[in-house]
Structures are given as structure tokens and as C-alpha cells.
Chain A
């Protein structure tokens, strides 16, 4: 196999620049806080929309994330990265918003028992390759990929959203999810296998 060429996405600022902005914001620099808002409102809003699939709820999450960040930034001591910290706040806000909406704990924290890797591989078509053109045709439209992504469990969708769609590093993704790097990688790999299976099925569960 030719080594897959994966585009490396990054958030809108560099990790070092983020840390500097967070440090200055922690000291009360309002311009630095405004710059953080400008750099991260897009990524955080997209992340919240991806998890809630509700524009109004995502907007609430966005506002609450920055309001919380403003309250807490004074105590930020540079543990992890600034972007990992912001996404971890957003994730908590998503959970809280969903809890408020449904009145019940959202299942997102409760990760389903992990399926065995060989079974996930088989479901994704390991050993039963598709015609490459047929596979490409199932990924042509954005809507097809969206539909496949929507079939993932919430805990799988969030790790893919952070790592593959927002382009966070492995360490930042683990920080945002409150997981060890190894646990994040395991979840990401299983999520990607589930996504391959969904794409091959044609998006939906039964498809």
C-alpha cells in the first residue's frame, strides 16, 4: 500500500501562539481573550454542532464555553495545551446542554464495551476488499460521509471530530476527552473502523 497521504489540519493558530494567548488572557489581557475567541469560535462551534446536531444548542454551547473559559482562565497554569483545555470545556458544555435538553444523563460518557478488533475489522471488510471505484463512489458526496459519521456512537463521533475534522494532535484530543493517549488512540482506531464499515454499507446501519 502506498502510504496514505493524510492532510494535517491544524486549528487557526499554532500551539505556541495559543499558549501565549492563554497566558496573557490569564493575566487579564482582554485583547488576548478576544484573539482566542476569534481563533477558536469556528472550531468549537463546529465541534458542538457535530455532537449536538442542533444549531441552537451548539450556539449555547459556544457561548457557555467562552463564558466558562473567561471565568477559569485566570487559574490556567499551562497544563496540557490551551486548545485541549478549550475543547475539554466545550465537551463538558455539550454534555450539560444535552442533559438539560433531555433531563437525563447523556450516554456519551458511558462508553460501550469495546468490540474486539478482529470483529470490527471484519465488519469493515477486512479480507473482503471492495472495488476501489465502488468505494470512491460511496464517498463522493459530503452527505454520504455525514450519514456514515452519524451512525457512529457519540463517543466515537467526538474522537473523530476532534482528531480528524478539527485536526487536533493526539495529545490535545486525549486532553479534551480526559483520556490517556493510549486510550484515545484505541477509541479513535475503533471509531475509524466503524466508519469504514458504515461507508461500505452506504452510510446507514442497515444499508
Chain B
């Protein structure tokens, strides 16, 4: 990071530490408000937070497919379970 500055009561490092909880919606309201106050006043954290959120979202969208197992795998699974 170029500089660890304090904005909105949090240091850049504090925001970095909370990014996953922030994008997962798991911060308590007061803490979320602090993070958002920091982001409002810190361009670097806003940019990095945007990148972080974009990668997590894209990952979930592209690789989180809901496909079932292939038919032959399902068939062999049923056979294995029937033998027990």
C-alpha cells in the first residue's frame, strides 16, 4: 500500500482486514458504517475494495455452477450404494 492512513476512525490496514466480512455482509452495522466512512475518504481503499469485490463476485458467478453429476457417475453411485 502506498500509505496506511486513518480515515473515518479506521486505518487502511483495518479496512483491508475487514474486506471479506464487508463483501459477505457480515459486519455489524456500526463497523460497516466505519468502513464506509473510510472508503468515502480513501481513494486507494475504494479502488482496491472494488477490485476485491469484483473478483469474489465473478468467481461465484462463473465457477459456482449448479450442475448435477454426470449421468454415468450418478448411475455408478446408485449401484455402489445398492451393494452395501
Is B1 an interface position by the 8 A CB rule?
yes
Given A41-B74, A167-B64, A170-B24: A70 and B81 interface contact (C-beta under 8 Å): yes
A42 to B49, CA, bound (A): 32
Nearest CB in chain A: distance from B8 CB, A: 13
A6:B48 contact, CB within 8 angstroms = no
Kindly list chain B residues whose C-beta atoms are within 8 Å of the C-beta of A66: 77, 80-81
Given A62-B69, A142-B63, A164-B64: A127 and B57 interface contact (C-beta under 8 Å): no
Is A24 an interface position by the 8 A CB rule?
no
A37 to B81, CA, bound (A): 10
B55:A129 contact, CB within 8 angstroms = no
A1:B66 contact, CB within 8 angstroms = no
Contact mask for chain A residues 95-139; partner B; CB cutoff 8 A; 1 contact, 0 none: 000000000000000000000011001101111111010011001
Kindly list chain B residues whose C-beta atoms are within 8 Å of the C-beta of A127: 1-3, 44, 48
Contact mask for chain A residues 62-73; partner B; CB cutoff 8 A; 1 contact, 0 none: 110011001000
A117 to B26, CA, bound (A): 19
Kindly list chain B residues whose C-beta atoms are within 8 Å of the C-beta of A2: 50
B51:A164 contact, CB within 8 angstroms = no
Q: Could you say which interface size class chain B belongs to?
A: 35 or more
Q: Could you say which interface size class chain A belongs to?
A: 35 or more
B60:A145 contact, CB within 8 angstroms = no
The winner among B21, B26, B52, B67 for most chain A CB atoms within 10 A is B52
A166:B64 contact, CB within 8 angstroms = yes
Kindly list chain B residues whose C-beta atoms are within 8 Å of the C-beta of A139: 54-55, 58, 62
Query: Nearest chain-B residue to A118 (Cβ)?
Result: B13
Given A41, A142, A165, A196, which contacts B68 in the complex, CB threshold below 8 Å? Answer: A41
26 contacts between A and B (CB under 8 A): A1-B39, A1-B49, A3-B22, A4-B53, A6-B57, A9-B60, A9-B66, A37-B77, A41-B69, A66-B80, A67-B84, A125-B51, A126-B1, A126-B48, A127-B1, A127-B2, A132-B51, A135-B55, A136-B54, A139-B55, A142-B62, A145-B58, A146-B63, A185-B21, A189-B21, A192-B56
